Structure formats: C-alpha cells, structure tokens
C-alpha cells in the first residue's frame, strides 16, 4: 500500500525574537549492559537512551514529561553486543559514525537532567526517569532497572547559555504530494479523501510502545506540521543526508510498533533492499508520483516528502511509521470486509504477523530535475525524498482468516 499526503505548498515567514537559551549537552562515554540472564529473547533489540531537562521541583517519582524538554532517543548497542560493556566516544564529532551517544537539549527553564532507558516497548529503568547530576567532569551513575542487573553509565555534561539577538526573517518552502494514490494502471485509490478529512475527527490515538514525540500526532496534518517544524530546526542538507541511518531507524520503529501487536521483529533482507531502492529510484526519476510496483511480489508501503531541508533521520523515520500506524485508529480487530486494505493497508502491513523480512529503499532528487504532474511549482532548491518499504511475505492477503490471524489487538 502507499501513502500520499495532501498538498501543502506554502511559504512561512517566521520572526524569531531575541532569546536567552540554555542548553545541556550530554555525552555518554560508556555504559554497562544487562547480564546475560536478563536479555534472553531480547538479544537482537537495541538500547535506547532518552534525556530530558525538567524544572527543579521534579523528582524521580513525579516527573511530568509534558513539562520537560526531551531530546530524541539515542540508539545504543544491540543487547547481545553490549556484554560485558559497550564503549562510546564522548565527542559529538564521532556521532555521524554511529559510535557515540551524544545529545543536546535546549531548555530555558530546565534545572534538572533525567534519563530513561528502554528496549523496544520495554522500559528498563525503574523509576522510569532517573536523575543525573549535571557536572562538567566525568561522572558515574548507577541506573536501577526492572531486571536483576543494573546499568552503570559514565557521562559528562556541558551547560551553556547563549545570548543571541536572533531577530531575523526566514522563509521555508515545503511541498507535499498532491497526487491521489493510484495503482500502476492509473486507478485511483479512494482512501485519499479519508486521510485528508481524518484531521477533522477527534479520535483517541492508539497508545504507542515508546514515549516519542510522534505519539501525539493524531492525523496527517499534524505529521506534516511536525516534520515542517523539525526541518526548520535540524536543517539537514538533503544532498548529504544520512540515508543508512534513516533506513536503520525505520526498521527499528517497525519492530517497536510490531511488538505492541505481538508481531515478530522484521529482519533486513538485501534482496528486498535492492528491490526497494530500484522502485524508489523509479518513482523519483521517472514518475514523480506514488504508485505501486507491479506485479505485486512483495508487500509495499510508500512515503513522500519534499523540502529545502530535512529533519533528522530519527525524526523522519518516526513520522513515517506513525503515518502508517494512524490508519489503525478505530480498526475493527474482530471483523474484516473486502477491499478494506484501501482504508487500513499501511497499518495492517506494518503489524502483519506473517511478514518476517523487510527492505527499505530511499531516493532523494532535486525537484528541478524531474517533470511530473504530481510535483508542480517546486522551488529549484527543493529536494524530494521517496521512501519504499518492501515486506516478505506480503501482508494484506484478501481473506477474513488471514486478517484475523495476522492483525492482533495491541497488548496492554
């Protein structure tokens, strides 16, 4: 299945006032992993660290995350690789290689630093958020966990106050696909109108397996605004985008959401990656629209976004997977109707239990280099990113039994 977001080609003039910004940079130099006896069945999962800056009145027992400023979760080592100890460089210069845990939190009101450690949908730290002393020198802290073993981290912090007179005007242009989803023969997929009207409905968002920013995004419009705002902050040059990191985060988020529905983790398959990349290039350089590859050999989810700059790979991956998961709002797990995949196909393929392999293809192209009725009015400095996700075996098999066996309710 595929996803096309509603058209929103616009310019935004943003006046940034003078501000005094306080930032905390956290660098984890090393940490100890859980004991072998505590990771049985979790060997292929990864550690994730999330750091938050919170008001000074908060304690480990009363952290209200909505009043804190939290950085994106930092991905650590695979559990099986972190025994007995994983080491990381503290310098942010090494973060591009994936060999460090280093994050910066900007918060004018922040007084205390907290950390949460989790694996997929399982929160390890108990209590969930534990306080870290803010010190410029190297510090060691033992984090209590729900397992028999504890996690010891060695870290340092750097606190800065930047007095910037940043009164400036910035113009950003963002383009979203204006195409109704079509199959390769030109037939319209009629759930486009459902997606565009979804933001008008006040649905309860399904609970997500981890505490990420995207859990609050309950419609396509919110995802659009989220990516737009993050693009303005991160300002990553699309021409030098970290595609391997995006693909890795997409696979990780797939497995986080799948674990919530009792579906096994997906394993990256090089054949699927090759097929996904080939079709992503086809969409980017020849079609410029979101259309499915035919014949249908593998399951397929598609995503498209266009902007002068891009958000971080983790941010983009989280938003992509949340856009798929949104179709599960109000899903009837007890029944199934023919052609229902037009309404819920991204969601059901995402958590389809029989799918075991995954391959992600990504293609980024400058908008001025393609001519397509699906991409109009683009700035010559705008880049378009096409994401193709392939699954094997394919999900959304057209039978009542297949859906009941492969799409389970979220676990508590």
The phi, psi pair for 131, rounded to 5°, reads -80, 140
Q: Please report the pLDDT score of residue 62 as a whole number.
A: 87
Residues 311-364 pLDDT 10s: 999 889 999 999 999 888 888 898 877 656 667 889 999 999 999 999 999 998
**68 has a pLDDT exceeding 60:** yes
pLDDT at 294: 83
pLDDT at 230 over 90: no
CA–CA distance, 218 with 228 (Å, rounded to integer) = 16
> Which pLDDT score is estimated for 360?
96
pLDDT band at residue 106, thresholds of 50, 70 and 90? Answer: confident
Q: What is the pLDDT of residue 210?
A: 42
360-381 per-residue burial string, b: 16 or more CB within 10 A, e: under 16: bbbbbbbbeebebebbeebbee
- Dump pLDDT digits (tens) for 179-219: 333 334 433 333 333 333 333 333 333 334 343 566 667 77
Asked whether residue 2 carries a pLDDT value surpassing 60, the answer given is no
Q: In 3D, which of 122, 120, 42, 115 has the Cα closest to residue 81?
A: 42
Give 382-404 as a DSSP string.
-EEEEEEEEEES-S--SSHHHHH
Helix orientation angle between 313-325 and 220-234, rounded to the nearest 10 degrees: 180
> Mean pLDDT, the chain, as a whole number?
75
Domain 214-405 belongs in CATH node 3.30.720.210: no
Pairing relationship of beta strands 383-392 and 299-307 according to DSSP bridges: antiparallel
Which of 174, 223, 216 has the alpha carbon at shortest distance from 196?
223
Tell me the pLDDT tens digit for each residue of 157-169: 888 765 543 333 3
For residue 122, what pLDDT is reported?
82
Integer Cα distance of 290 and 106 in angstroms: 37
pLDDT value at position 369?
62
Is the dihedral angle over the CA atoms 204, 208, 213, 219 positive or is it negative? negative
Supply the pLDDT for residue 209: 38
**Bigger pLDDT: 398 vs 359:** 359
Q: Residue 151 and residue 307: Cα distance in Å, rounded?
A: 40
Phi then psi for 278, rounded to 5 degrees? -60, -45
Contact 35, 196 (CB under 8 A): no
| Least confident range of 66-75, 188-197, 269-278 | 188-197
Q: Would you state the torsion angle of the CA atoms of residues 66, 67, 70, 73, taken in this order, to the nearest 10 degrees?
A: -30
Cα separation values, 30 from 88, 90, 121, 135, 380, Å:
5, 9, 23, 16, 44
Mean pLDDT of 128-153: 89
pLDDT category of residue 121 using cuts at 50, 70 and 90 = confident
What pLDDT score does 290 carry?
77
Residue 155 in this model has a pLDDT that exceeds 50: yes
Q: CA-CA distance, 384 to 304, in Å (whole number)?
A: 7
Q: What is d(CA 356, CA 397) in angstroms, rounded to the nearest whole number?
A: 15
- pLDDT tens digit sequence for 291-309: 888 888 899 999 988 888 8
Residue 41 backbone class (left: φ over 0; alpha: ψ -120 to 50; beta: rest): left
Question: Where do the domains of the chain lie?
Answer: 22-161, 214-405
Nearest by Cα to 227 from 289, 302, 320, 290: 320
Measured N-to-C along each axis, helices 341-351 and 243-260 cross at an angle, to the nearest 10 degrees, of 100
pLDDT band for 33, please (50, 70, 90 cuts): confident
Predicted structure pTM score: 0.54
Q: Report percent pLDDT > 70 for the chain.
A: 72
Helix, strand or coil, per DSSP, at residue 336: coil
Structure tokens at 347: 């969601």
87 vs 383, higher pLDDT: 383
- Candidate CATH numbers 1.10.150, 2.60.40, 3.30.70, 2.40.128; the one for domain 22-161: 2.60.40
CB 166 within 8 A of CB 19: yes
Q: What is the predicted pLDDT for the residue at 120?
A: 76
pLDDT at 4: 35
């Amino acid at each position: 299945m595929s996803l096309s977001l509603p058209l929103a080609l616009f310019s935004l003039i943003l006046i940034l006032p003078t501000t005094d910004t306080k930032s905390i940079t956290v660098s984890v130099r090393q940490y100890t992993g859980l004991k072998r006896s505590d990771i049985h069945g979790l060997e292929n999962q990864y550690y994730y660290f999330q750091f938050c800056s919170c008001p000074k009145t908060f304690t480990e027992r009363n952290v209200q995350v909505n009043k804190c400023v939290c950085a994106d979760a930092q991905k650590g080592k695979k559990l099986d690789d972190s025994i007995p100890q994983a080491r990381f460089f503290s310098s942010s210069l090494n973060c591009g290689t994936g060999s460090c845990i280093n994050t910066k939190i900007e918060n004018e009101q922040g007084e205390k630093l907290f950390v949460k450690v989790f694996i997929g949908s399982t929160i390890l730290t108990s209590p969930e958020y534990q306080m870290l002393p803010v010190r410029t020198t190297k510090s060691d802290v033992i984090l209590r966990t729900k397992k028999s073993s504890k996690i010891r981290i060695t870290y340092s912090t750097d606190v800065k106050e930047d007095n910037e007179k940043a009164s400036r005007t910035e113009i950003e242009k963002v383009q979203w696909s204006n195409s109704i989803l079509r199959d390769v023969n030109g037939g319209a997929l009629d759930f486009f109108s459902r997606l565009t009207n979804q933001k008008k409905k006040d649905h309860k968002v399904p609970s997500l397996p981890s505490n990420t920013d995207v859990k609050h995004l309950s419609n396509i419009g919110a995802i659009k605004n989220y990516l737009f705002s993050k693009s303005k902050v991160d300002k990553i040059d699309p021409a030098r985008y970290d595609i391997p990191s995006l693909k890795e985060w997409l696979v990780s988020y797939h497995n986080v959401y799948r674990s919530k529905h009792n579906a096994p983790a997906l394993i990256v398959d090089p054949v699927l990656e090759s097929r996904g990349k080939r079709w992503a290039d086809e969409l980017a350089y020849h079609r410029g629209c979101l259309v499915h590859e035919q014949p249908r050999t593998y399951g397929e989810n598609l995503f498209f976004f266009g902007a002068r700059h891009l958000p971080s790979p983790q941010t983009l991956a989280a938003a992509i997977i949340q856009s798929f998961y949104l179709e599960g709002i109000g899903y009837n797990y007890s029944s199934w109707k023919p052609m229902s995949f037009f309404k819920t196909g991204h969601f059901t393929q995402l958590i389809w239990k029989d799918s075991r392999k995954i391959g992600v293809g990504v293609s980024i192209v400058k908008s001025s280099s393609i001519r397509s009725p699906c991409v109009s009015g683009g700035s010559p400095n705008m880049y378009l990113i096409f994401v193709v996700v392939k699954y094997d075996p394919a999900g959304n098999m057209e039978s009542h039994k297949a859906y009941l066996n492969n799409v389970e309710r979220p676990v508590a």
